[in-house]
Amino acid sequence: MNANEITILGIESSCDDTSAAIIRDGVILSNVVANQKVHEEYGGVVPELASRAHQQNIIPVVDLAIKNAGINRNEISAVAFTRGPGLLGSLLVGTSFAKGFSLAAGIPLIDVNHLQGHVLALFIKEKEVPFNPPNFPFLCLLVSGGNSQIILVRDYLKMEVIGQTIDDAAGEAFDKCAKVMGLPYPGGPHVDRLAKDGDPLKFEFTRPRIQGFDYSFSGLKTNFLYFLRDRLKENENFIEENLNDLCASIQYTIIEILLNKLKRAVKETGIKEITIAGGVSANSGLRNALKVNAEKYRWNLIIPKFEYTMDNAAMIAITGYYKYLNKEFIGQNVVPFARTKL
């Protein structure tokens, strides 16, 4: 190891994935993610079960990340962890572990905002893979199970939320609509798959009328629920007989809502450098719609690698790296925040 190299251990435990990653000078050396299957039978994440699973997973996951990176523990320059937003019990596990690791190794501790991590995932370099980061300033559509935001990113650590959901996130809309159709949790990927063989214009659902660049998805969810309830009264097999069209139509509506505000943000800010982040950015319909718009309106669209769009510690480590360069460290008295802004 070169004495000037900066090696960051990143820890992510904000929801139901326990993850650890090693990044050296911005280049990924390892990224280990342990998913929690325990929530599947409940149709959503159970906070108490999530924090228990994090406790079981955290040591083996960190150990594996260090092994996979092929480094020695004493080569780590700092430990970066997700401070929030997220589930408090889950965050406490990662935070406590990171504090202990930093104290034992005598290295700095860096707190990371999970949302900032999602955005900076675009700057993760991979060995021998061409690096194609966005240029500042850029707009990032951050869509996940807990967030739907449009972020104006001026620099690595300078970003501003210019629009966000006032109720449910886009991922919640996918998951809740999937749940009422009887699909397993998380429903987003199932809707995506089934939508491929459906007609997106078969059924029409309500669009919210919200000011500015903000989003709302709770009305759509209710509309979908009542629509199904009424149709099921007429035909008890309505869902099975129309599953593909239902998935295609609800997906089409969610994408339209997301893109209308993004297009407005591009128009008003004049920024045509566009990126996406968060679990919902895996949606194939959303990716296609973004590509079509990018071609039509001449946007420079940058879509991150799939594994860095979901919750992962590589994005926390890369944010930790930029904070390390700025010497933005935090003391041992740090506590996690369930709710926090960018």
Binding residues vs ligand KG4 (CB under 6 A): 15, 144-146, 171, 174-175, 186-189, 192, 278-280, 282-283, 310-311
CB of 117 to ligand KG4, least distance (A): 10
Measured from the CB atom, is 44 or 137 closer to ligand KG4? 44
Measured from the CB atom, is 217 or 321 closer to ligand KG4? 217
Measured from the CB atom, is 282 or 317 closer to ligand KG4? 282
C-alpha to C-alpha distance for 205 and 251, rounded to whole angstroms: 11
Name the closest residue to ligand KG4 (Cβ): 279
C-alpha to C-alpha distance for 48 and 231, rounded to whole angstroms: 37
One DSSP character per residue, 150-188 reads EEEEEETTEEEEEEEBSS--HHHHHHHHHHHTTPPSS-H
Q: Among 79, 77, 82, which Cα is nearest to 95's?
A: 82
Measured from the CB atom, is 175 or 245 closer to ligand KG4? 175
Measured from the CB atom, is 76 or 169 closer to ligand KG4? 169
Q: Among 76, 6, 83, 100, which Cα is nearest to 326's?
A: 6
Q: Among 173, 135, 140, which Cα is nearest to 257's?
A: 173
Measured from the CB atom, is 102 or 275 closer to ligand KG4? 275
Task: Tokens for 114, please give them.
Answer: 């999970």
What is the number of other CB atoms lying within 10 angstroms of the CB of residue 334?
Answer: 16
CB of 190 to ligand KG4, least distance (A): 8
Residue 11's beta-bridge partner residues? 20, 81
Measured from the CB atom, is 154 or 305 closer to ligand KG4? 305
CB of 323 to ligand KG4, least distance (A): 21
Residue 301's beta-bridge partner residues? 274
CB of 7 to ligand KG4, least distance (A): 26
> Residues 70-80, buried b or exposed e (16+ Cβ, 10 A)?
ebeeeebbbbb
CB of 148 to ligand KG4, least distance (A): 10
Task: Tokens for 36, please give them.
Answer: 């929690």
Measured from the CB atom, is 35 or 269 closer to ligand KG4? 35
Burial of 337 (0-12, 13-18, 19+ CB in 10 A): middle
CB of 279 to ligand KG4, least distance (A): 2
CB of 309 to ligand KG4, least distance (A): 7
Q: Is 264 helix (H, G, I), strand (E, B) or coil?
A: helix
C-alpha to C-alpha distance for 336 and 206, rounded to whole angstroms: 37
CB of 298 to ligand KG4, least distance (A): 26
